[in-house]
Amino acid sequence: MDHAAHAWLFVRGEESIRITTGPQGTLRIFGPRDASQSCDFSDAASLEQFVASYQQRLLNDGWVLAIVAERRQADKQVPALHERRAQDRRAKNPSKP
């Protein structure tokens, strides 16, 4: 099953706020400055509604959306791919771990 992780970067002057969501309904907000918070949502609709509302509040407060990113990954396929690549490197260079 595919899961998507999303990230948004908002900037205002020298400050930034990064919002990330994870595949299991996890929300993390970093910034401005050293502030950070995290929250888990029980369903995708609640998470999406909160993120949309929070982003609108940021825009209303003068923040500018600078970057949007989405990364999809299948369960357990990404670690397996990294392990295969590591095995390939070790096979080509047996002296290196």
Element of type H or E holding 10: strand 2-12
Domains of the chain: 2-92 (2.20.140)
**Which residues, 6+ apart, have CB-to-CB distance to 17 below 8 Å?**
9, 10, 11, 29, 30, 31, 32, 58, 63
Looking at the DSSP bridge assignments, the partners of residue 71 are 5
Tell me the per-residue pLDDT of 63-78, one tens digit each, with 9 for 90 and over. Answer: 999 999 986 544 444 4
Q: Which residues of the chain have pLDDT under 50?
A: 1-2, 73-82, 96
pTM above 0.75, yes or no: no
Percent of the chain with pLDDT over 90: 61
